[in-house]
Structure 1
Amino acid sequence: MTNTSGQETPEPKPISPALKQSLELGPPLLFFVVYLWIKDRTYTFGGVDYDGFIVAAAGFVPILLVSIAVLWWLTGKLSRIQVLTAFMVIVFGGLTVWFNDGNFFKMKTTIVYAIFAAVLGVGLLRGQSYLAWVMDEMMPMEHEGWMILTRSLTLAFAVLAIANEIIWRMMSETTWVVIETFGFPIALFAFLSFQIIRLQDYLIEDDSEDEA
């Protein structure tokens, strides 16, 4: 397989789609279940009290890292998005526990979406699609297609950042957890699916499939 720069990319090992989805969706779902179970409890570690939300958030970090490690062990490869996700979770999860502040963890989503929008926006100003660098190995596409998708996603991430800030400040903690676990991912998936459908003409077919 080749990317838009003409470089060969290693083929990942085959893995059951069901297992792959379980490893990717399992950690946030488990976080949701654990949160509902312990949200009204308080735990003391090292003389410091942590509410159930903080404990659930802290537990999410190793769970996600283990799932990513297992995925890497099974496939022999990690996408750039998975690496970036692991980095963000480690940083913001660690800061949440360090400051013992649940609001910081909620703001994490705003910060992440805002960073994505800002980075993609900078690329657009330079006439480049940083999104292509992240996703090209999964979905080869012509430059013009990447630019269209990048503009759309820049706006989408900005909207999600604003929406998250409004939700965590004006709604209950449980409502935010539900929207964070299900609402935002579903909205982003639906948006991406629509964009991919309308950009079909820009997709680059695998040469190996044409030869076959």
Structure 2
Amino acid sequence: MTDTPPEQPRTAPANNRAWIRQAVDFGALVAFAGAYVFLRARGLDGREAMVQATWVLVGASAIALIVGYAVERRLAPLPLLAGGFALIFGGLTLFFHDPSLLKIKLSIQNGLLAAVLLGSLPLGKYPFKYLLGDSIKVTDQAWRGLTLRYGLYFATIAVANEIVWRTQSDDTWVAFRGIIWVAACVFGLLQIPYILKHMIKDEEPGPVSPDPGL
């Protein structure tokens, strides 16, 4: 819910760090969804259950940022963006007791990413290289292609989220959020052949998820 100086070749520990980051980000989503389902089972309506589950989301997002910093000794751009948005909109949701603020977060976050990525193309700039430059090392032509692909992906998610949260129930939106995470993983895997084709060196790309998280 992304240039820099040339990086050193990826190592096994770097791949491990990427997997840890993915697991932590996924854990925050699972914690939120689990809390929501539990509260619904306890008899809370969808609106109240989502507000209460947001406490879990805020806590899990803070933990994700801490773990990410502990693992990488820095706050990587995408996790920082996802965690920051989750903390800000989660806090607003709790303050105003309005779950629509949490729902619209996904639209704003992905819409902003889409605008930055797609808007950079006519300028010949590739901010996506900054976001993922430590994960993969490809030619500028590939960065342009990835920037376009991910820009369109983020725009699609933003539009889809607007349609779902404005027309469907809270239960459906929570399920949709889980589907989005799966779609992000699938989309990332589908980019691997393209990445391998344009690798500067013979490196194995790590897991790259376009979804910045809940």
Change (3 A) 1:16 1:66: same
What corresponds to 1:24 in structure 2?
25
Selected match of 2:181 from 178, 185, 201: 185
1:1-212 aligned within 5 A? 5-6=5-6, 15=16, 20-39=21-40, 40-41=43-44, 51-180=48-177, 182-205=178-201
Task: Normalising by structure 2, report the TM-score.
Answer: 0.80
Change (3 A) 1:146 1:18: closer
What SS class does the counterpart of residue 131 from structure 1 fall into? helix
Contact 2:51 2:98 in 1 (8 A): yes
Task: Normalising by structure 1, report the TM-score.
Answer: 0.81
1:37-86 superposed Cα distances (whole Å, 9 cap, x missing partner): 113438xxxxxxx8221111132112121133123224434422111112
Q: Greater relative contact order: 1 or 2 (C-alpha under 8 angstroms, separation 6 or more)?
A: 2
Q: Identity of counterpart residues, as a percentage?
A: 25
Change (3 A) 1:114 1:17: closer
Which amino acid is the alignment partner of residue 36 of structure 2? Answer: Y
Unmatched runs of 5 consecutive residues or more in structure 2: 204-214
CA distance in 2, matches of 1:10, 1:17: 11
CA distance in 2, matches of 1:19, 1:196: 19
Larger displacement relative to structure 2 (93-102 or 17-26): 17-26
What SS class does the counterpart of residue 115 from structure 1 fall into? helix
CA distance in 2, matches of 1:5, 1:25: 29
Report which of the two structures shows the higher radius of gyration computed on alpha carbons: 1
Change (3 A) 1:96 1:153: same
How many residues were matched structurally?
Answer: 197
What SS class does the counterpart of residue 191 from structure 2 fall into? helix
What SS class does the counterpart of residue 185 from structure 1 fall into? helix
Which amino acid is the alignment partner of residue 147 of structure 2? Answer: T
Unmatched runs of 5 consecutive residues or more in structure 1: 43-49, 208-212
